[in-house]
Structure 1
Amino acid sequence: MIALMSGTPDLGGSFVNVPDTELLRTLAASLAVGILIGIERGWRQRDASDGSRVSGLRTFGLLGLIGGIAGHLPELLGAVIGIAVLASLVLGYRGELARQGSLSVTTTLVGVITFALGYVAAEGLVSEALALAAVTTLILTLRGQAHAMLKGMSKQEVESIARFALVALVILPLLPDANLGPWNAWNPRKIWMVVVVVLGLSFAGYVATRRLGAEKGIMITALCGSLVSSTAVTAAYARRLRQKNGPEGPLIAGIALASLVMFVRVQILSVALVPYTSRSLALAMVPAFIVGGMTTLLALRARGSEAHAGEVKLGNPLDFGPALLLAGLVAVMAIPARWALDRFGDQGIIVVLGLTGMWDVDAAVLTLAGMPRNMLDGETAGLVLAVPVLVNTAFKGVLAFGIAGPRRQGWKAAAPLFASVLASGAGIAALISFG
């Protein structure tokens, strides 16, 4: 025990050069890992009679501590302890299976995880071990919700999750993160990220609509999704309008709301990164914001005519068509943007910002923030920054019209966006004329 606490070599090199405070810290973390997980396991069996509970707070606390001790011992001895712990857990599972006929291996697996996290803490990764213990505990507490979610899932949703995982977790990391093509305009990973974002928002909207109801799901997805990309929200909702995959009013309102959020996001970014532009940018954007807000409310009020349309029939959660179309447009428009920057340099800033802003208005703000401060005065810079915002809004209008179709749905989807552009365009003209 003296050797253990002092850090002097013992058992062929155990606890070698481990300071007392560090040793105590890692062992305390290992114990904390076990106690945290043990609280959930003990609570799960709280109604069982004394002596019938298989494992709880004490057992898992000790498992974490044993893992911590094993981590400080020589590797061979630590491995022997690990094998012994695993064998004990397996034997305990077999005994539980014989007594109660339960096929659940959760407690056994959690025991292995607890020992492993205790070992990880002993290796000095205390924060990581505690974080993983917290995640493990959270997963265990969500048992009921997880089972309910799985029972409510359709085969189509499971297939969509698998496809999205392939797109986001397999294909995306394999693509090169480098500028290629003419004028180095194409970054394959960033272009494919457009596909990932559009598909992700499309699937999120599908799930939200199915779980929360059509109107709430659509508006919540539009609000949250537009924090990532209002263009992606527009593409996803225009697709649903074309397929009549949701109530028309909330879908149109969601498209308008996404642009409203984009206006606010750009204004906040300008205050943070290019504050000298914020006043004139706000004056230019106020008309668009007012028109966008009014059209959002009008579209939501129109839902009354759909109240008796019956239950919405949801279509395919993942439609690659709009996602690939948008990625292709981003790739095509990147060429003239990079050409203008290469050909005209800073003098082509309006062209560059406008073309950049078609997909990513945030990138336009960052581009302007990287320019010399004395290049433009504040009033002019704010109006210049309004260009990519309006170009992005007009682009989304064209996108909504093209995807939703040239019939009534397409015009209704695009109208709020075009109206916002016209309102702010008139405002900018007035500012220039009377400024």
Structure 2
Amino acid sequence: MTGTLGFAGAAAALGIGMLVGLERERHKGQGEYRAFAGFRTYSITALLGYVTQQVGGAVLLGLIAVCLGVLASTAYWKTEDKDPGITSEVALFTVLVLGALCGINPALATAIGVVMAGLLVYRQKLHDFARSQLTDAEMRDGLLLLIVALVVLPLAPDRYFGPYGALNPRAICTLTALLMAIGAVGHVAVRALGPRYGYAVGAIASGFASSTVTIAAMGQAVAKEPNHLRTLAAAAIFSNVATMAQAGLILGTVAPALLVKMAWPLLAGLVTAVLYGMGLMLRTGAVPASQTLEVGGAFDLKLALLMVLMLTGITFVSSVMLYHFGQVGVMLTATVSGFADAHASTASIAALATSGQLSLDAAAIPILLAISCNSVSKCLVAWVSGGRRFAVYVIAGQVLLTGAMWLGTLVS
């Protein structure tokens, strides 16, 4: 058994060295301008790391790393004027360490080796993306998202406190990071797919922030582009895909057990929205490049913070109503707040279910009521912003997907 594991580790180390070495060999160059290490050097270095770790452990590996550092520094000094980069030198050190790691965890070492090879292969595209495509605003938003997800979220306490036990800092921070991440993913999708599907994809991306606002934007665009009425109406309905997806993500984050209960209704609404939107788009042509949806930055921080404040307020009100009036109070709160936003109501009800104040069966109906009332708001917005013809398409789609959700409760 030990021999089998040793052979597997050595094979993994050799594979990592050959993979990285093959990529480096292709960009090694020729003659006096060629790089100092290629296919054989990387393969041997990976095996050297594996054998060193097996024979002498960390001490011998450190000595070998020092010797390798001297050799790499000498090679870099000789080619400094021709190639000021140190990618090959760093990659060689990494291969040595990954070879040593193969003796402990070959699977992890192999995964890291594949990722490193991918970074080397796509280095030019990554450089172009960082220099010419990534804007300062997107960079700032990305750093802000990382701070919230990797710094603030782990430090937030995971417990319910406050009046009526309605507030959970970890859940609130998680939802904030989730809203920011979803907006960033939608923004990347719009940038990647280009203008042809700008309205539909942009509506879905914007729908993660606010489907109601997205429908209003599509309605306003109808006045400028009446020839693309069906395309805009389809985009408005597609924004409901974000509503269903975000509701599922919120439930999965706050109350996974409640997501199982709501899976069929949400899936029924999502499928209906997709099929109805695709049906509208079948009779429309491609949208010209000049008619794209402005999606702004990677995400809307103000809107995310507003969602957090709304979530906190609605959760507190729902807890008070539940404490004093029971489940009837929760349904009333969900109905009223759903006209403004379905996501905050969904999150607050899910928080009540997680804390044990509301059963799963009792929590499903208020969530459906909130989403249904939000559909009514969308219909009104469509009529006011886009006129009668636009509203007819949107209202029909909203009625169909809302009815499909209620029918989905018969399956769940």
Q: Which TM-score applies when normalising by structure 2?
A: 0.70
Change (3 A) 1:430 1:207: closer
Deviations 1:250-269 (A, max 9, x none): 77644522424766997xx9
Displacement of 1:209 in angstroms is 3.2
Change (3 A) 1:427 1:21: closer
Paired residue for 1:82? 65
Of 112, 123, 127, the match for 1:132: 112
Residue 105 of structure 1: how far off its partner (Å)? 0.9
Name whichever of 344-353 and 146-155 sits farther off: 344-353
Partner of 1:67: 49
- 3-state SS of 2:185 partner: helix
One-letter amino acid of the counterpart of residue 89, structure 1: A
1:362-381 deviation per Cα after TM superposition (whole angstroms, max 9, x unaligned): 9979999999xxx99xxxx7
Aligned ranges for residues 42-53 of structure 1 at < 5 Å?
42-45=25-28, 48=30, 52-53=34-35
Superposition pairs for residues 212-291 of structure 1, below 5 Å?
212-214=193-195, 216-220=197-201, 232=209, 234=211, 237=214, 253-260=234-241, 273=260
Q: In the alignment, what sits opposite 2:180?
A: 199
SS in 2 for 1:186: coil
**1:145 counterpart letter in structure 2:** K
Return the match for 2:94 from 113, 125, 133: 113
Shift in CA distance, 329/51, structure 1 to aligned 2, threshold 3 Å: closer
Q: Check conservation: 2:53, 2:60, Cα contact below 8 A.
A: no
Structure 1 residue 183 and structure 2 residue 173: aligned? no
Task: Give the SS at the match of 1:104.
Answer: coil
Residue 385 of structure 2 corresponds to 408
Write the distance in 1 (CA, Å) between the matches of 2:285 and 2:210.
20
Structure 1 contact 401–413 (Cα < 8 Å) conserved = no
Give the unaligned 5+ runs of structure 2: 249-255
1:128-176 deviations in Å (ceiling 9; x for gaps): 1111001111111111221221222222222222222223322222222
Counterpart in the other structure of 1:54: 36
Task: Give the share of equivalent positions with the same residue, in percent.
Answer: 19
Matches of 1:69 and 1:429, distance apart in 2: 63
Counterpart residue number, 1:4: none
Distance change (3 Å), C-alpha of 1:205 and 1:351: same
Cα deviation 1:334-382 (Å, max 9, x = unaligned): 23444566668789896799789744869979999999xxx99xxxx7x
Equivalent position amino acid for 1:103 in 2? P
Tell which structure's C-alpha radius of gyration is larger: 1
The 1:384–1:172 alpha-carbon spacing in structure 2 relative to 1, beyond 3 Å, is closer
Q: Which AA in structure 1 matches 2:177?
A: V
Change (3 A) 1:391 1:313: closer
In structure 2, relative to structure 1, the CA distance for the partners of 1:409 and 1:140 (3 Å cut) is farther
- Please list every run of 5 or more consecutive structure 1 residues that lacks an aligned counterpart in the other structure: 1-17
For 1:183, give the aligned amino acid: Y
Provide the C-alpha distance between the structure 2 equivalents of 1:238 and 1:321, rounded to a whole number of angstroms: 20
Give me the whole-angstrom Cα distance separating, in 1, the residues matched to 2:69 and 2:407: 76
Q: State whether structure 2 residue 133 is matched by structure 1 residue 152.
A: yes
Write the letter of the residue equivalent to 2:95.
T
Aligned residue in 1 for 2:367: 388
Q: For 1:417 and 1:183, locate their aligned partners in 2 and report how far apart those are by CA, in whole Å.
A: 40
Residue matched to 2:74: 91
- Root-mean-square deviation (CA, aligned residues, Å) is 5.2
Among residues 16, 37, 40, which one is paired with 2:23 in the alignment? 40
Separation (CA, whole Å) in 1 of partners of 2:39 and 2:209? 47
Aligned to 1:7: none
Query: Contact 1:291 / 1:420 at 8 angstroms: preserved in 2?
Result: yes
Mapped contact 1:202–1:318 kept (Cα < 8 A): yes
Distance in 2 between residues matched to 1:134 and 1:413, nearest whole Å: 50
What's 1:319 paired with?
300
- Whichever residue aligns with residue 65 of structure 1, its letter is L
Q: Secondary structure at the match of 1:97?
A: coil
Residue 309 of structure 2 corresponds to 328
Structure 2 Cα separation of the partners of residues 184 and 235 of structure 1? 31
Q: Separation in 1 of the partners of 2:400 and 2:158?
A: 39
1:37 Cα deviation (Å)? 1.4
CA deviations 1:7-49 (Å, max 9, x no partner) are: xxxxxxxxxxx9443333323322222122112112333x635
Whichever residue aligns with residue 211 of structure 2, its letter is T
Shift of 1:307: 5.7
The size of the alignment, in residue pairs, is 386
- Tell me if structure 1 keeps the 8 A contact 2:379–2:394: no
Write the distance in 2 (CA, Å) between the matches of 1:236 and 1:317: 17
Cα distance in 2 between the residues matched to 1:202 and 1:410: 29
Do structure 1's residue 174 and structure 2's residue 155 form an aligned pair?
yes
Aligned 8 A contact 1:401 1:410 in 2: no
* Larger RCO (CA within 8 A; separation ≥ 6): 2
In 2, Cα distance between equivalents of 1:425 and 1:308: 33
For the 8 Å contact 1:260–1:293, the answer to whether it is kept is: no
| Cα shift at 1:80 | 0.9
1:323-402 aligned at under 5 Å gives the runs 323-339=304-320, 358-359=343-344, 385=364, 388-395=367-374
Q: Compared with structure 1, are the counterparts of its residues 430 and 113 closer, same or farther at alpha carbon in structure 2 (3 Å cutoff)?
A: closer
